[in-house]
Structure 1
Amino acid sequence: MPREVYHLFSGGKDSSLAALILKKLGYEVKLVTVTFGVLDNWKYAKETAEILGFEHEVVKMPIEILEEAAEMCIKDGRPGRAIQFIHEKALEFIASREYVERVSDGTRRDDRVPFLDIRKARSLEDRFNVAYIRPLLGLGFKTIRELVDDMFVVKEEESEKLEKGDYETELREILRKKGINPRSIFPPRHIQSRVIGLR
């Protein structure tokens, strides 16, 4: 019986590398990209999933979660708590499915946000009776950079400009719709990535 794992996937280098590691470990990897229906930016993650050769699913989550996250951004003047909130809700949303036994993401050792500490990781597993797998948890920036450079063709740009399939893009968009310039909340010149090919 294949061991299925449902892996949160943006199409970036971290979630792509984590997906390939899971495959090497013998898991049947199902890539899942979360959307709130504000934009169709999930299509970029789908393109990357096809390049990597994985099954891909787009899951629509309630817009109220994104609205709540936007209010956190406005109140805090920074995005950290909002990104963490969305990430936790996304993991819970996938883990709550009756047939899901394993969930995964591409969070790394040195991540601050999003990141589940040991208490939150155990809580997720206990509440939903799932295994929470983080293939990159023991890897630092240099190691990940070496592996990514060996395996992928990567496009890197400022977050505001990069076409990518993560929920930060929709969070920025909903802030714009509320009349808030995302640049006033998100760090300037924050660089993100999208995998556009294999080496």
Structure 2
Amino acid sequence: MKVYHLYSGGKDSSLSAWILERLGYEVELVTISFGLLKNWRYARETAENLGFKHRVLYLPEDILEKAAETALRDSHPNGAIQYIHERALEAIASMPEVERVSDGTRRDDRVPFLDLPKARSLEDRFGVAYIRPLLGLGYRTIRELTERLFNVEMGESEELVKADYEAELRDLLKEKGFDPRAIFPKSHQQSRVLGWKNV
């Protein structure tokens, strides 16, 4: 059984991949890019260090453009990140070979997060199973597991090199002449997994 797992190289998506593998799935990691930056290479490096197959899936830049418009309109990134996440899952689910799609969303996530109607809609529209290994886990449990399993680099969102949607969204906003710091929350920590601990 193969699952295509939406992958940023952070703690949540890496822990989800580890859980999926232990459940018996063949896991292929999929990182989304809009082609503005080559930040997908950070996810590829982490995937290789962890021993997972990895691919990059390019989405049309108009999705990122719409997300940027949403972030500017809202003066906050949540709607933009949610929009990209939904389009990313749909893009993976629409690939002909895909029967199962997964992400690293957690129990306590607000954004990005598919509520039950959206999760069912994704499955029904694309004929896939949508799997969320962390859905029942809280922050403390995830922190304990990731600290035990991975070497992790932590840093401010704006400074940490990573392969999530936020990096390209920030870059596009800068290109348009807007300061992303006016939109994104201050002092927001994110993670990048570097590899296995004690390996």
Q: Which range, TM-score by smaller chain?
A: over 0.9
Tell me the secondary structure at the aligned position of residue 98 of structure 2.
coil
Instruction: For 1:65, give the aligned amino acid.
Output: I
Among 87, 94, 98, which residue is 1:89 paired with? 87
The Cα shift of 1:163 comes to 0.5
1:116 maps to 2:119: no
Separation in 2 of the partners of 1:43 and 1:86?
A: 19
1:155 Cα deviation (Å)? 0.2
- Secondary structure, aligned partner of 1:150: helix
Q: 2:65 aligns with which of 61, 64, 67?
A: 67
* Match 1:16 to one of 1, 14, 17: 14
Q: 2:4 aligns with which of 6, 30, 42?
A: 6
SS at match of 1:196: strand
Q: Give the drift of 1:99.
A: 1.1
TM-score between both structures, scaled by the size of structure 1: 0.98
Aligned-residue offset at 1:36:
0.1
Is 1:157 aligned to 2:160, yes or no? no
The runs of 5 or more residues in structure 2 that have no matched partner are none
CA distance in 2, matches of 1:88, 1:52: 26
Cα distance in 1 for partners of 2:63, 2:56 equals 17
Please provide the CA RMSD for this pair.
0.4
Task: Spell out structure 1 runs of 4+ moving beyond 2 A.
Answer: none
Equivalences for residues 29-44 of structure 1 within 5 A: 29-44=27-42
Q: 2:192 aligns with which of 181, 186, 194?
A: 194
> Which letter maps to 2:12?
D
Instruction: Give how far 1:107 is off.
Output: 0.3
Matching residue within 71, 76, 92 for 2:74: 76
Give TM-score scaled by structure 2 length. 0.98
Separation in 2 of the partners of 1:58 and 1:173? 19
In structure 1, runs of 5+ residues without a counterpart are: none
- Measured in 2, the distance between the counterparts of 1:165 and 1:13 equals 12
Residue 54 (structure 2) aligns with: 56
In percent, how many aligned pairs have the same letter? 66
Q: How many Å separate the matches in 1 of 2:103 and 2:183? A: 25
Partners of 2:187 and 2:42 in 1: how far apart? 21
**1:167 shift after superposition:** 1.0
Aligned residues: 197
